[in-house]
Chain A
Amino acid sequence: MASLSLQNKLAILSDAARYDASCASSGTTRRDSRDGKGLGSTEGSGICHAYAPDGRCISLLKILMTNFCIYDCAYCINRVSSNVTRARFTVDEVVQLTIEFYRRNYIEGLFLSSGIIRSPDYTMEMIVQIAKRLREDEHFRGYIHLKTIPDAAPELIEQAGLYADRLSINVELPTDNSVKAYAPEKNPETIRKAMGDVKSRKDVAKERSYTGKRGKRFAPAGQSTQMIVGADAATDATILGQSTRLYGDYKLKRVYYSAFSPIPDATAKLPLIKPPLVREHRLYQADWLLRFYGFDVDEITSARPDGNLDLEVDPKLAWALQNRHLFPVDVNRASREMLLRVPGFGTRSVGRILSTRRHRTLRYEDLQRLGASLKKARAFITAKDWSPGELTDSADLRARFAPPPEQLSLF
């Protein structure tokens, strides 16, 4: 095979990486290079250095080490049976690209994934080698996210966790049956075991030894995973149920939802659809309600009999419309828990309402200044000079929020 230029390899191997949704670079330890002996810093919240026209943040250099792969996952551009052009970076090329991009302030760091070549161990070893070179030879202190390969030896995962800020392993599809059907070489149990291993290693790293010394930091920004949405028949209730288990059992930092999106040279097994972007968005909103707003999965998904989220209105609003007997809520008296359930109030506006109402009785205008979205909230609250009257129970309340009906396009 003729050798490809670095530019061509980069084109192929970033093209192959774009179906991974995560680009987060936040939540790790604080580091800097003020000592002049290294390069890079991480300061809590990550930075999105650019946005592509798909609206996604570009924070990390997100590439595959290689898109050669011995597995045959139907949804994946890199499956063995696909005829896409293949390429492979050398260790040196990945290290140089990361460092040179970083020095020009294009990125926060590296997100390295890979197709499986030869064996899971061999692949993981190469990934670890790149991270090691960056940390030990280049003294790189920026962010590193490594994909862990299921089935790779535990020693390799352990090393990966010492160099990386975040580790991730994708559960790929919402149910075990779908994984078996579309990713025949992958085993859902092995994937869960790998997540369990990472979790217990993190727990061990947190414990102090008898001398009071802490263990070496292990993946300080935690682990995340991704599920493809819309490739199989799983409902939103199934998907969110799976997420809840993942957050609970493996203490994941994030579950990413990736709308199944057309790939070049698709397989007949999995016909291409228009990516369900609105559905993906509603799942993220629901995910937030589960983690930060005190909602249960059942509350969110029971609004519709088919177990899917309402695509026309956001899940909190959908819940409120179903539970109008609990509204209106008095912003001057209601508990934090209840305020969090008001459509249009975010965690921040609720915090501000609580601190401000110690000083004054809140009026409608005050709420506007606090940054609440009153277009949504007005029907569900009372304030000193505001009562929604009949609005809360009016029959056309839903219609006020739902987008007007439009002609459906085929794609």
Chain B
Amino acid sequence: MYTVPLPRIGADVAWRDAAKRLLGAAVPPEDILWDDDGTASGLFATQTPLPPVTRRIKVPQSFVELANTVVWHNDPQRFARLYTLLWRLRHQPGLMQDRADRDLAKLRQMEKAVHRCKHKMKAFVRFRDLRQGGERRSFAAWFEPTHHTVEPTAPFFARRFADMDWMIATPDVTAQFVDGNLSFHPGQPKPDLPDDATEDLWGTYFCNIFNPARLKVQAMTSEMPKKYWKNLPEAQHIADLIAGAEAKVQEMRDTAPTLPPQRAAAIKRQLDRKPPAKE
């Protein structure tokens, strides 16, 4: 029996390394205990060292891509599920194309969940200006991802916000980007971030870009689930926008047409004098 402890930071590399060694030594899935959170190592204190790297393991590229995503899922079974598929791939090289296979379908579903979580993180992280002075501006955000998505998503923020320093703190892992260097640290409780006046402007924009005549609350919540709202500054306006929508539209309907402002006539005269088109 092998017990493989996996660290919270760098789990992808650790799992890949262990899987290569175990597969190289032909260790079947049922002889491995993948220890996600450090609980299993206490139960089975005697750890068998992992087998040495013996040979190059060839796996389909599509498996590598799948594994690189699924390792960030929050299901404690993810490592075991991946290894089981890897084990089956030895004798079924075409397996990756079989979308109807149960094991693979489950992993694809998990992959989709991680992709969605990464996407939502890219969308919903909200930075606040720390106003620290200095050459580079610095910003910080608090975010609560569903899966372990900080590590695979941080490079996106590094590519996008390279000319500023930033930190994304989460209960799971915290990412820091300082002077162009990205680093990861253990998760933390929610930090106290200073108020940022730009959030009010953003709220103003959110309220005014909303069209009250097209209320579709479910279309909003399916893409921006409520679990994210507490960390989105604009979400505080949602309840009032929904409550006031009907009255606003009714007002537009009830208002009698007005007379054009005075300048309208003057502008019309001017336009009539010189045709605007120059074809």
| Chain A interfacial positions (CB closer than 8 Å to B) | 6-7, 10-12, 14-15, 17-19, 32-41, 43, 47-58, 61-63, 70, 72, 80-83, 97, 100-101, 103-106, 119-120, 139, 151, 185, 187, 189-190, 193, 259, 261-268, 272, 274-275, 277, 352, 355-356, 358-360, 362-363, 365-366, 369-370, 411
Write out, one digit per residue, whether chain B residues 237-273 have a CB within 8 A of any chain A CB (1) or not (0). 0100110010001011101011011011001101100
Cβ of B234: which chain A residues have Cβ within 8 Å of it? 50
CB of A49, distance to nearest CB on chain B (Å): 5
Q: A6-B201, A56-B211 are in contact. List 8 more A-B contacts (CB 8 A).
A: A12-B208, A15-B208, A53-B210, A83-B260, A104-B126, A105-B157, A187-B277, A190-B277
User: When the two chains form their complex, are residues B216 and A103 in contact, meaning their CB atoms are under 8 A apart?
Assistant: no
Report yes or no: B94 in contact with A52, Cβ–Cβ below 8 A: no
Q: Are A104 and B163 in contact (CB under 8 A)?
A: no
Residues of A with C-beta under 8 A to B105: 369
- Which of the residues B164, B212, B276 comes within 8 Å of A103, measured between beta carbons? B164
Within 8 A of A (CB), among B112-166: 119, 122-129, 137, 139, 141, 156-164
Closest to B279 in A: A190
Chain B residues within an 8 Å CB radius of A53: 210, 215-217, 220, 238, 241-242, 245
CB nearest to B210 among chain A residues? A52
* Cβ–Cβ < 8 Å partners of B122 in chain A: 47
A83 to B100, CA, bound (A): 61
Which residue in chain A gives the minimum CB-CB distance to B261? A83
In the complex, are the beta carbons of A50 and B100 less than 8 A apart? Answer: no
* Known contacts A11-B208, A54-B215, A97-B201, A356 near B99 by CB under 8 Å: yes
Name the contact of B210 in the complex, choosing from A18, A39, A263 (C-beta under 8 A).
A18
Give the residues in chain A near B198, CB-CB below 8 Å. Answer: 100-101, 104
Q: Give Cα distance in the complex from A220 to B152, angstroms.
A: 28
CB neighbors of A among B195-213 (8 A)? 196, 198-202, 204-213
Q: Does B214 contact A (CB under 8 A)?
A: yes
B252 in complex: contacting residue of A50, A263, A360, CB < 8 Å:
A263
In the complex, B180 has a CB within 8 A of chain A: yes
B interface majority secondary structure: helix
Q: Do B200 and A7 touch across chains, with their CB atoms under 8 A apart?
A: yes
**Whole-angstrom distance between the alpha carbons of A352 and B215 in the complex?**
35
A266 and B97 contact, Cβ closer than 8 Å, known pairs A36-B163, A81-B264, A104-B127: no
Chain A residues within an 8 Å CB radius of B267 = 70, 80
Residues of B within 8 A of A61 (CB): 205
Complex Cα–Cα for A356 and B95 (A): 10
A126 → chain B closest CB, angstroms: 17
B163/A356 in contact, CB under 8 A: no
Partner of B160, one of A32, A37, A100, A355: A32
A290 vs B247: C-alpha distance in the bound complex, in angstroms? 38
User: Is the C-beta of B50 less than 8 angstroms from some C-beta in chain A?
Assistant: no
Q: How far is the CB of A101 from chain B (nearest CB, A)?
A: 6
Q: Is the CB of B220 within 8 A of A33?
A: no
Whether the Cβ atoms of B214 and A261 lie closer than 8 Å is yes
Does A72 lie within 8 Å of B213, measured CB to CB? no
> When the two chains form the complex, which single residue of B123, B213, B214, B260 contacts A49, counting CB atoms closer than 8 Å?
B123
Cβ–Cβ contact A275 & B159, under 8 A: no
In the complex, whether B192 has a CB less than 8 A from a CB of chain A is: no
When distances are taken between beta carbons in the complex, the residues of chain A under 8 Å from B215 are 53-54
* Interface status of B65 (Cβ within 8 A of chain A): no
In Å, the complex CA distance between A40 and B141 comes to 17
Q: Is B218 an interface residue (CB 8 A)?
A: yes
* Contact indicator B209/A17 (Cβ below 8 Å): yes
- CB atoms of B159 and A34 under 8 A apart: yes
In the assembled complex, which residues on chain A have CB atoms less than 8 Å from the CB atom of B126? 104-106
5 contacts between A and B (CB under 8 A): A35-B162, A47-B123, A55-B223, A100-B201, A272-B252
Q: Quick check: B216 and A104 within 8 Å, CB to CB?
A: no
Instruction: Report if B45 contacts A (CB, 8 A).
Output: no
Q: State the Cβ distance, A92 to closest chain B Cβ, in Å.
A: 15
Q: Give the residue of B139, B210, B224 whose beta carbon is less than 8 angstroms from that of A54.
A: B210
Residues of B within 8 A of A265 (CB): 255, 257-258
Bound Cα distance from A100 to B270, whole angstroms: 39
Query: Does the CB pair B161–A54 fall under 8 Å?
Result: no
Residues of B within 8 A of A83 (CB): 258, 260-261
A34 & B219 in contact (Cβ 8 Å cutoff) = no
Instruction: Chain B residues near A272: list those with CB within 8 A.
Output: 252-253
Q: How far is the CB of A363 from chain B (nearest CB, A)?
A: 8
Rounded to whole Å, the gap between the CB of A34 and the closest CB of chain B is 5
**Closest CB in chain B relative to A176 CB, distance in Å:** 15
| CB atoms of A51 and B100 under 8 A apart | no
Bound together, the chains give a CA A56 to CA B241 distance in angstroms of: 14
Give Cα A283–Cα B124 distance, bound, in whole angstroms: 30
Min Cβ gap A239→B in Å is: 19
Flag whether B232 is at the interface (Cβ < 8 A).
yes
Contact yes or no, B98 A104, CB < 8 A: no
Q: How far is the CB of A12 from chain B (nearest CB, A)?
A: 8
Asked whether A103 and B137 contact (CB < 8 A) given A36-B163, A48-B223, A360-B100, the answer is yes
> B127 — which chain A residues lie within 8 A by C-beta?
103-105
A352 to B104, CA, bound (A): 13
| B227 interfacial contact with A, CB 8 Å | no
How long is the Cα–Cα vector from A370 to B99 in the complex, in angstroms? 6
A359:B98 contact, CB within 8 angstroms: yes
Q: Is the CB of A81 within 8 A of B217?
A: no
Q: A53-B217, A72-B268 are in contact. Are A105 and B210 (CB under 8 A)?
A: no
Which residues of chain A are within 8 angstroms of B123 by Cβ–Cβ distance? 47-50
Closest to A358 in B: B97
Whether B56 sits at the interface, judged by CB under 8 Å, is: no
A54 to B246, CA, bound (A): 12
In this complex, the member of A37, A48, A360 whose beta carbon has the largest number of chain B beta carbons within 10 angstroms is A48
A-side contacts of B253, CB under 8 Å: 262, 272, 411
Q: How far is the CA of A268 from the CA of B258 in the complex (A)?
A: 9
